[in-house]
Chains A and B, each alone.
Chain A
Amino acid sequence: MIGDKVWVGAENYQTMVADPLFWQSLKVTGVYSMLAVPLGVLFALGLAVLLNQKIRGVNLYRTIFYIPSVISGVAAAMLWAWIFSPEFGVMNAALDLVGIEGPKWLYDPELVVPALVMMSLWSVGGSMIIYLAALQGVPSELYEAATVDGAGWWRRFWHVTLPQISPVLFFTLVTGMINSFQTFTQAYVMTNGGPKNASLFFGLYLYNNAFRYMKMGYASALAWTLLLIVLALTLLTFVTARFWVHQETDSGGWV
């Protein structure tokens, strides 16, 4: 596995640029993140806004929405692989009820990533709790003032709520991106990268190189690339944040 160490200079990186599977894994992971992260934020925010109303049984709903997010890992992946089973799964049974013939989901190169995105929405409970706390922290005077000015629900949400909770949205966006670029367990357990490498996530390709093909050096080059991508995305989010993250002038420092 790790024989004599030979200095290969930039060779691993040259290999990488010419490696179609590297680009494929980058594409798969990028598409997944572009879908799963924003949709996750929207879905979690929707649930939080819902639970921020005065509805009966709000604690029960909060618990129900939150529970899936504590079931991470292999058990959840196996469960969802079974849910997406084309012939016997509950997903296609539900589609059948409304007269749609269910697709092959994890066996369809076009649909495997969307299916995994759908699965990721199951565990947005953590972000939902964060948003709920943030929503409850918005000073009610701001809403009262906006109402006096004649703002309806939507304008209050757009001009008061969103700016007030934008730092929290920002935080979950950055951590969501970092996490989604490391997606591994779903790919390993549910699809093993298939079909036709359509779910070859970067994390899985890195693992395969390191521990299946025993190419530790190449895998390390991939790991460095992953770090640089995550850093770049984080910096990008920080740089653009000043345009959309609302800062109280008297807020304390981060550290």
Chain B
Amino acid sequence: MATLSSQSRARRVGRILTYAAASSGAMFMLVPFVWMVTTSLKAPAQVFAYPIEWIPDPVKWENYRYVTSDWPFLKYMLNSALVALLTVIGSLISCSLVAYAFARLKSRLSRPLFIVMLSTMMLPGQVTLIPIFILFRNLGWIDSFASLVVPSFFGTAFYIFMLRQFFLSIPRELEDAARMDGCGTWGVFWHVVLPLSRSALAAVAIFAFMAAWNDFYGPLILLSSEGKRTAALALAIFNSAKGTDSGNRMHWAMAAATLTIIPTLLIFYRAQKYFVQGIVFKGVEK
């Protein structure tokens, strides 16, 4: 009996340790968010109070009014949204077409081309940056959203890979039946394959949106005029423009940062399962 009770005591200690570890992990993940939101609601004097005052008093909603009206941050967010939505459209069109070709239309070149495409996933983005910049400069696309959006119409390796794997899992009989009913390749793609692939297409749309929304390097080198800034670029410029009065701007900076992550969090909340699927897919199925 003694051994049994010591065993159950060990198990209880183990459980307590597990919960303690999980809770401290959760603290580490959550405190920064709380800190960001409370800072965004404080008056400057309270921002620099020490010890830290966690509850904003008074709650300064004006910080958000300043960010959205005195500083056109909403406009920058709309710019980001426009770029991100167009990128989603481009990615869906190009990646689904290319992926279907790799999944079903076989030629001698399919395999080598597929390997070349996959290898671009390993290519660091910064390596292609200068050629891309020079290309767009010669096209006269610098400081235009086209330079950010048009590349998505030429496909992205990871999304193509993901969609191809999904298309391969669609039973061929369904496609054959459609062909018997007189559908051509295009008809099969449009009427059979795409409707069956809604979840995979949704995942691609979400990834493409998030990548474009969070993108900083692209807007930094390709955009220049003030009115075209994306939210990420505007945030960084606001941040670097500090200097002597930096102390008095932290509440605004955090308000803008909070606004920037709201769309991300909403999408994450609505579409959690796609994130998890896509991530798992990236890591495991290969």
Contact = CB atoms under 8 A, between A and B. Distances in A.
Dominant SS at the A interface? helix
A133 B32 contact: no
A162 interface: no
Contact of B236 (A46, A82, A189, A203): A189
Nearest to A203: B126
A32 interface: no
B210 A70 contact: yes
B130 A182 contact: no
B260 interface: yes
Contact of A130 (B35, B125, B284): B284
Contacts of B264: 70-71
B84 to A, nearest CB: 13
Residues of A in contact with B, size category: 35 or more
Interface stretch (A47-55, A107-115, A242-250): A47-55
A82 B280 contact: no
Contact of A75 (B118, B220, B261, B280): B261
Interface in B113-145: 114-115, 118, 122-127, 129-130, 133-134
Given A181-B124, A185-B216, A210-B130, A133 B284 contact: yes
A101 B240 CA distance: 28
Contacts of A216: 130, 134
Given A50-B22, A73-B214, A227-B123, A129 B265 contact: no
Contacts of A224: 127
Interface stretch (A7-15, A16-24, A58-66, A139-147): A58-66
Interface residues of B, number: 66
Contacts of A137: 284
Contacts of A42: none
Given A55-B22, A182-B124, A255 B134 contact: no
6 cross-chain pairs, A with B, having the tightest CB-CB distances, nearest first: A130-B283, A75-B257, A73-B214, A133-B280, A74-B232, A75-B260
Interface of A: 2, 46-47, 50-51, 53, 55, 61, 63-68, 70-75, 78-83, 87-88, 90, 93, 96, 121-122, 125-127, 129-130, 133-134, 137, 168, 171-172, 178, 181-182, 184-185, 188-189, 192, 203, 206-207, 210-211, 216, 219-220, 223-224, 226-227, 230-231, 234, 254-255
